[in-house]
Amino acid sequence: MALLLYRLGKFSYRHRWLVISLWLAVLVAVGGSAAAFHGTMSNNFQIPGTETQQMADKLRKELPSSSGGSAGIVFEANDAKFSQAGKEAVSAALTKLKTLPDVQGTVDPFATQAQLDAAAADLAAGEQKAVTGKAQLDQAAAELATGKAQLAAAEQQMAAAGLPPEAVEAQLGEQKAALAAGQEKLDAGTKELESGNEKLALGKRQLTASQGMRFVSEDGKAAIAQVQFKTSINGLEPRVRQEVQDIVREVSSAGVTALPSKEITEDVSEIFGVAEIVGIAVAALVLVIMLGTLVAASLPLLMALLGVAAGVGGTFALSGIVDMSSISPMLALMLGLAVGIDYCLFIVNRHRSQLLAGMDGEESVALATGTSGNAVLFAGLTVIIALAALVVPGLPFLAVMGLSAAATVAVAVVVALTLTPAVLSLVGRKLISKRAWSRAEKHNADPGHAAADRAKDEHRSSHGWGGLVTKHPVMATLAGVLLLGIVALPASQLRLALPDGGSEPVDSQAFKAYDVTSRSFGEGTTGPIVVVGDFPEGLSESEAMAKQLDVADVLRSTENVTAAVPVALSADRRTAVFQVIPKEGPASASTVEVVSGLRAEKGAIEDSLGVSIGLTGQTAGNIDVSTKLGDALPPYLAIVVGLSLILLLLVFRSIVVPLLATGGFLLSLAAAFGAVVAVYQWGWLGSVFGVDNPGAVLSFLPIILIGVLFGLAMDYQVFIASGMRESFMHGESARHAVRSGFSHASAVVTAAAIIMVSVFSGFIFSHLNMVRPLGFAMAFGVLVDAFVVRMTIVPAVMYLLGEKAWWLPRWLDRILPDVDVEGARLRKPSTTAAGASAPEPADVAAG
């Protein structure tokens, strides 16, 4: 592989304009495709086959009016209460919303609350009327009984006096007819009273079901409206979201503040903000300090940006035909920038060092591509494997996320191996400052510079951080493991959920809407649970209504449920929709228990009422996603680690080094989880990282972090350990090779890690709140993995093990292919005209 890359580097150097032209053509094609075919980003994390998706499909088919997504808009009066003008302005805005093509309908909070209040008053009046009617009926019944008794007594007296029946009938006939009419009237009144009582009982049940739900707050200062869309919330275009916001904000002229919920205000169309630019600026500063010239520093940045343009552009081009979450291009952007800079840096730094040593430019570029480029290739492969394996859990949005990021990393690798050599041929000596050239020429002219270089390398390898770690390997190992173990402790309390409005920044519209809704109507109103009931066939309207209330009673009896209200019934009375309001917000632990509790009632409801139920809606769907992701973690971790262990076995031809690399990764991963829990779940240092409302951790953060961090950790393992193996293969003792290999790789790995941490840190303050914990987790994970694991624990343990670190069974050594990651085949030296070491053509051809 080293030889193939050596030839690729030489080809790119010699045919620079061809390579550059091909890449420009690719960028134009990708850019044009992205502009022409891009679709709408969403945050749709539904999983096909789950109950929530099945119930959503059922509603779409059988009750279309309730199948679209819904979102809340909370209106707050600027004064103590809503004025009449304010109420009219809100109603007018909602009426105007109905005219939008994407809006199915709206619920006017004032009209709905008036109906609820009127229903309570009507029920009270009806109960009073029923009491009065009962009293009247009782009085009439008593009078009728008295009349009947009197008539019976009169009949007895007449019969005792010997009057014939005809005479008795003639005298008492009118009284009997009057009594019969009275009885008939009494029976009709009783029947009417019974019917009224049935309606009252039904009204009472309906009122009981709606208790706990309000549309206008009790203090009259806030009102919440519902907007039903024709499509899912996640499918709304940014244009529609903006139209809705513009219309409802017209109420400001009437002294009312409109606060649309997160579902409406969330803008996922932009993926780049100020914070990300700051991260790149820090990376640029590190490159300038390390490489010494603006030309050299700008080269890795340029290569990374071109790679990201191609990779993320391709992602956008596919968004028109693939349902893609907003975090997919964000993840591709983060990784593309970070690895793109690092991969190019490794090659540029190697080339720069060889030029300063006096090597010919073409030969230097080819050799840097064959050696450092080889390490770049295998490091990139570990990242690609880890990301591509995100398809294994079977979650569509996660698979798209992983494949788009893996493709962008692959592009970064290809850019580093082809475009970088081509551009280096154009840059030539401008890569190095005049002062550095002057010093190098003087140094190379000294006949004893080779011995001086060896002495300098020897001194450097036994001093500095690498020397300190290898002088005290046991202490360094224990200190590193102990430190990461302590940081990892909070990870045991990790709780997963998808973010809601309460996790947004406090100055955002989404948080203000969430806050006002929670204070005025209860936390659970921000995340209602939708229950779909499948009713028996042939029910009358009254039977179906009673059945709805029976189901609502059972749902309401679930622990931590505030209200359970029937909200819709299909025309054939087979499908009913209920809205369940939990006690707390959608991301809380108690709401997760509510969903479990409602599902636990399925059997009882079906047995007692003959109704089968299922849950759907955003809240239940988010909980299902979090559960599925949690279940997918162990098998995913096993697959990623297993595949990468095989790759590392090929690279290092050692049993111990891959195991040590993986063990170190697990320590870094646990520490990263611990830090995320402490900051984003517990709120430690929340003011520093902009965590105003700590809560559950983003549900797909762990699985993405596993894939990304493993790939990046193996990057640094390859660059650090390949230097050690290179020294060991060139005859140094195993322990000395640890020191010398570390000293050669530590500077560039340190710079690369700082760059990667800087890029990821820029996303900690991203305008997309969902991305922030992911940026923090990656930045912190890379930080501890690079400096604590790869640059402390790994060299300390390998120094302790000595030659045992490179042990490989003979039978395995024979069957493993030699991938030559350290470029040993390119290291058969001959002396060039400049006096530098280079591969002999015969050796290259033979290799």
What is the enclosing helix (H) or strand (E) of 616?
strand 612-616
Q: For residue 263, name the pLDDT band (cuts at 50, 70, 90).
A: confident
| Amino acid letter, residue 481 | V
Sign of the Cα torsion 260, 264, 266, 267 reads negative
Of all residues in the chain, the percent with pLDDT exceeding 70 is 89
Burial track 501-525 (b if 16+ CB lie within 10 A, e otherwise): bbbbbeebbbbbbbbbbbebbbbbb
**pLDDT tens readout for residues 302-359:** 998 898 889 888 888 887 677 767 677 877 887 888 888 888 988 998 888 888 888 8
pLDDT higher than 80, residue 688: yes
Q: Look at residue 652 in the predicted model and tell me its pLDDT.
A: 81
Q: For residue 839, name the pLDDT band (cuts at 50, 70, 90).
A: very low
Greater model confidence, 498 or 556: 556
- Identify the weakest region by mean pLDDT among 10-24, 140-154, 215-229: 140-154
Q: Classify 368 as helix, strand or coil.
A: helix
Greater model confidence, 16 or 382: 16
Distance between CA atoms of 689 and 683, rounded to whole angstroms? Answer: 9
Distance between CA atoms of 519 and 501, rounded to whole angstroms? Answer: 14
Distance between CA atoms of 511 and 519, rounded to whole angstroms? Answer: 12
Inter-axis angle of helices 327-356 and 434-445, to 10 degrees?
Answer: 40
Q: Look at residue 359 in the predicted model and tell me its pLDDT.
A: 86
Distance between CA atoms of 689 and 505, rounded to whole angstroms? Answer: 11
Distance between CA atoms of 196 and 661, rounded to whole angstroms? Answer: 78
Q: Look at residue 91 in the predicted model and tell me its pLDDT.
A: 93
| Top-tier CATH class for 8-37+292-438 | mainly alpha
Q: Look at residue 797 in the predicted model and tell me its pLDDT.
A: 94
| Across 728-753, average pLDDT | 84
Q: For residue 847, name the pLDDT band (cuts at 50, 70, 90).
A: very low
What φ, ψ does residue 454 adopt, rounded to 5°?
-65, -40
Q: Look at residue 829 in the predicted model and tell me its pLDDT.
A: 45
Q: Look at residue 523 in the predicted model and tell me its pLDDT.
A: 86
Q: For residue 451, name the pLDDT band (cuts at 50, 70, 90).
A: low
Q: Look at residue 476 in the predicted model and tell me its pLDDT.
A: 94
| Across 100-114, average pLDDT | 88
pLDDT higher than 90, residue 837: no
pLDDT higher than 50, residue 843: no
| Across 401-410, average pLDDT | 89
- Identify the weakest region by mean pLDDT among 28-32, 154-158, 217-221: 154-158
pLDDT higher than 80, residue 440: no
Distance between CA atoms of 112 and 103, rounded to whole angstroms? Answer: 19
Which residue is associated with the tokens 């970070």?
338
Q: For residue 780, name the pLDDT band (cuts at 50, 70, 90).
A: very high
**pLDDT tens readout for residues 4-46:** 888 899 999 999 999 999 999 999 998 888 877 776 666 566 6
Question: SS3 helix, strand, coil % of the chain, rounded to 5?
Answer: 75, 10, 20
Distance between CA atoms of 354 and 133, rounded to whole angstroms? Answer: 105
Greater model confidence, 844 or 601: 601
Q: Look at residue 46 in the predicted model and tell me its pLDDT.
A: 63
| Across 529-548, average pLDDT | 89
Q: Look at residue 457 in the predicted model and tell me its pLDDT.
A: 62
Q: For residue 456, name the pLDDT band (cuts at 50, 70, 90).
A: low
User: What residues contact 609, with CB distance under 8 A and at least 6 apart?
Assistant: 547, 550, 551, 554
Distance between CA atoms of 623 and 696, rounded to whole angstroms? Answer: 12
Inter-axis angle of helices 473-488 and 794-801, to 10 degrees?
Answer: 140
Of all residues in the chain, the percent with pLDDT exceeding 90 is 21
* Per-chain mean pLDDT for the chain: 82
- Identify the weakest region by mean pLDDT among 13-17, 67-71, 493-497: 67-71
Distance between CA atoms of 566 and 275, rounded to whole angstroms? Answer: 46
Q: What pTM does this model have?
A: 0.77
What distance, in Å, lies between the first and last C-alpha atoms of the chain? 10
pLDDT higher than 70, residue 455: no
Q: How many residues does this entry show for the chain?
A: 847
Q: Look at residue 835 in the predicted model and tell me its pLDDT.
A: 40
Rg of the chain over all Cα atoms, to the nearest angstrom: 38
DSSP 420-460: HHHHHHHHGGGGS-HHHHHHHHHHHHSTTHHHHHHHHHHHH
- Identify the weakest region by mean pLDDT among 261-270, 595-604, 709-718: 261-270
Domain segments of the chain: what residues?
8-37+292-438, 117-197
Greater model confidence, 83 or 152: 83
